[in-house]
A and B are shown apart, each in its own frame.
Chain A
Amino acid sequence: MQPFTTHTGIAVPFLKDDVNTDHIAPVQAMRALKPDYKALLFMRARQRDDGSEDPDFVLNKPQFRNPGILVTGQNFGAGSSRESAVWSMLANNILVIVAHSFADIYRENCLQNGLLPVTLAPVDAETFEARVIAANGAAPFTVDLEMQRISGPGGADIVFEIAAADRMRLLEGLDDIGLTLKHADEIKAWEARMAAAQTWLQTAREQRG
């Protein structure tokens, strides 16, 4: 995983609540094993009924065509566990999402892919959103994970909180599986204990005989 230190980009105001993964990465009639993730992002919302581009959709506006940061409401990423809803962000260089809150699985998928999920204190969120709207894509914002700060046009730096463990994982771009495999001996020991104490948990396929 790519380490995340800082990211500078145009902040896109997408101030809706409960944006779900069907909306972010729609299931297509013809689905590919490896779709064009860049085009997948909000694919349906980007188009009008006749298939032409909807000029009113925020990411289609000229000033937001090269996004870097998505700014949104509560419970972002609700719904299915599909990781394409994160991969399609990365494919568009959106490496930070600032939301009032995230759905659990979506936030986890962000961390797994080096995408920084930021939740601001309510008062800061309000200030930041106003600044993002005012900036209107004319100047970028910078999100610095090391300093836990957002800087950009329209005011002073905004500090954000993030769990120390999540921060470390993103900063170091840690290999999640590698981190766990440091505990391989403990996993093996657990299996041995359980094979004796609750044998049925450690045998599945062979139960069938």
Chain B
Amino acid sequence: MPQTLFDKIWDRHLVARRADGRDLIYIDRHVLHELHAPHAFEQLEKQERPVRRPDLTFSMQDHTVASKPGRNDHSNPSGAAFLKAMREGSRKNGIRIFDLHDPEQGISHVVAPELGMVLPGATHAVPDSHASTVGGLGALAFGCGTSELAHILATQVMALKRPQRMLIGLEGQLGAHVTAKDVALRIIAELGVAGARGHVVEYAGTAIRAMPIEQRMTLCNLNIEMGGRSGFVAPDDKTFDWLAGRPYAPKDAMWERALTHWRTLKSDDGAAFDREHLLDCSTLEPQITWGTDPSQVLGISGQVPDPAALEQGRRAAAESALAYMGLAPGMTLAGLKVDRVFIGSCTNSRLPDLKAAAEVVRGRRVAAGVIAIVVPGSTTVKREAEAIGLDRVFRDAGFSWGESGCSMCAGGNGDRGEPGERCVSTTNRNFEHRQGPKVRTHLVSPETAAATAVTGRIADVRQLSAERA
């Protein structure tokens, strides 16, 4: 019987079926961060349980690290306890940690792929809901809570119910300045914030094949914003080329063996999915959120909806979102004055994201009154960006250029906006108060964020680019 790629990976990793009917799925790579791992280390120590495979486990310091240049443990005062506990827990358990001053430190979802810890057809777990970012390389990744994190440390498996399968087909060529971020926001708008709950999503189609790996990661990153259990793209030559030579990827003969296997990783023709959804990407324009959940999305030329015109179940939420965001039905967002622009996070902080934003910024200045911030996703990205002068482009324009970490995405490191500010952000959640009390967040692509920073108003990056031409 034809099988989906999800089923192939799942079956290959099925160790046993537990007494309560759950499948024990082996986790090939486990990446931790300091916000949640310390509690799990403590739990295991109390139970006198060792970490089963420290050699398959890696620790990152990302959520609480300050982005201020010259930072130390105390630059974000409330981060110090987390950083210390993470350091000690990792040392005691023999886990390699990418600490604050490590030249490869960064956001787990950025570092794990770029160092080749993530491999096609492998399983991956992170105690973070954006774990499936690495699905962009064809890995099956699960986000989990703290108890599950302790469970994986002790057993190297996750006890899971088999999810359902969903296929999202993306066809057509993306227009200029339309990115994976825009595609993802449109999908979430169409399916809703619970639209993929209980499902593992395979993204396929001509638009996917054309996307570079970093774009695929952005797409898979946002899978959780529609409730998806996991999301991935089947690997292809782009994937293999991208991975070759990365530090933790297999080498030489083992690489050749792996490659032979990886080339078989695809859903069979005629494999059945529980749900399918198709999106024509060719007519898509840059997207932006208007509300307080990631499904409240508009094309940049669109108008804020009238709650009265929405289906009843969405009406109250839309009304409350408009009040929070300080918007009225019928408005266009383009042209709206902003206070802050943030470029970064596990969604959009890789080198090509920064390059695309820098191209828009080059030769321009951040508009007066706008605070504009770039925080690279990893110290490696930061170094590579500096090597090609991107930091100068941003700094010369008036952006601040930070040290790598989660920064303003979750506000866990002290980077947050001021009450009432309108913030255009390349992050993944526009929830109320997420970027600071009363901060009004609009989610966009790096290019739209850059165009907004230099005009001081929510901008259609395509017009800005047309002006330059």
Contacts and interface: CB of A to CB of B under 8 A. Distances in A.
Interface residues of B, number: 79
Nearest to B413: A31
Contacts of B145: 81-83, 86, 105, 108-109, 112
A105 B143 contact: yes
B129 A112 contact: no
Contacts of A22: 429, 431-434
A206 interface: yes
Given A18-B194, A180-B18, A199-B254, A112 B147 contact: yes
B81 A23 contact: no
A32 B317 contact: no
A186 B17 CA distance: 10
Given A78-B227, A198-B258, A207-B250, A20 B431 contact: yes
Interface in B76-105: 77-79, 81-82, 85, 96
A46 interface: no
A23 B293 CA distance: 12
A165 B22 contact: yes
Interface in A42-91: 44, 74-75, 78-83, 86
A84 B217 CA distance: 27
A144 to B, nearest CB: 20
B307 interface: no
Nearest to B29: A204
Nearest to B229: A104
Most buried by B among A44, A103, A113: A103
Given A33-B38, A112-B148, A176-B151, A26 B257 contact: no
B257 A199 contact: yes
B10 interface: no
B248 interface: yes
Contact of A75 (B19, B22, B146, B227): B227
Nearest to A207: B248
Contacts of A113: 147
Contacts of A123: none
B331 interface: no
A108 B79 CA distance: 27
B49 interface: yes
B375 interface: no
A164 B151 CA distance: 21
Contacts of A27: 410-412, 434
Contacts of B96: 205
B290 to A, nearest CB: 16
Contacts of B197: 75, 101, 103-104
Interface residues of A, number: 63
Interface string A152-185: 0000000000011110110000101101111110
Nearest to B258: A200
A29 interface: yes
A30 interface: yes
A191 B157 CA distance: 11
A5 B348 CA distance: 46
B210 interface: no
B410 A32 contact: no
A201 interface: yes
A165 B154 contact: no
Given A80-B129, A200-B119, A187 B193 contact: no
B214 interface: no
B261 interface: yes
B248 A204 contact: yes
Interface string B180-196: 00000000000001100
B121 to A, nearest CB: 8
Nearest to A165: B20
Contact of B150 (A81, A101, A177, A191): A177
Contact of B254 (A181, A186, A190, A200): A200
Contact of A30 (B16, B20, B77, B229): B77
Contact of A182 (B19, B26, B144, B416): B19
A209 B85 CA distance: 28
A23 B151 CA distance: 27
Interface string B287-328: 000000100000000000000000001000100000000000
Contacts of A101: 194, 197
Nearest to B144: A81
B55 interface: yes
Contact of B317 (A18, A105, A179): A18
Contacts of A31: 64, 78-79, 82, 412
B75 interface: no
Given A103-B227, A200-B119, A33 B157 contact: no
Contact of A74 (B194, B250, B414): B194
Contacts of B249: 207
B13 to A, nearest CB: 8
B129 A81 contact: yes
B15 interface: yes
A75 to B, nearest CB: 4
Given A30-B78, A166-B20, 13 more contacts: A18-B194, A22-B429, A83-B145, A101-B197, A112-B145, A112-B147, A113-B147, A180-B155, A187-B15, A187-B24, A205-B96, A206-B55, A208-B247
26 contacts: A28-B78, A29-B414, A78-B194, A79-B429, A81-B143, A81-B144, A83-B145, A104-B227, A109-B146, A176-B147, A176-B159, A177-B150, A177-B155, A179-B20, A183-B15, A183-B18, A183-B24, A187-B15, A187-B52, A198-B258, A200-B257, A203-B55, A204-B28, A204-B248, A205-B96, A207-B248
Interface of A: 17-18, 20, 22-23, 26-33, 44, 74-75, 78-83, 86, 101, 103-105, 108-109, 112-113, 163-166, 168-169, 174, 176-177, 179-184, 186-187, 190-191, 194, 198-209
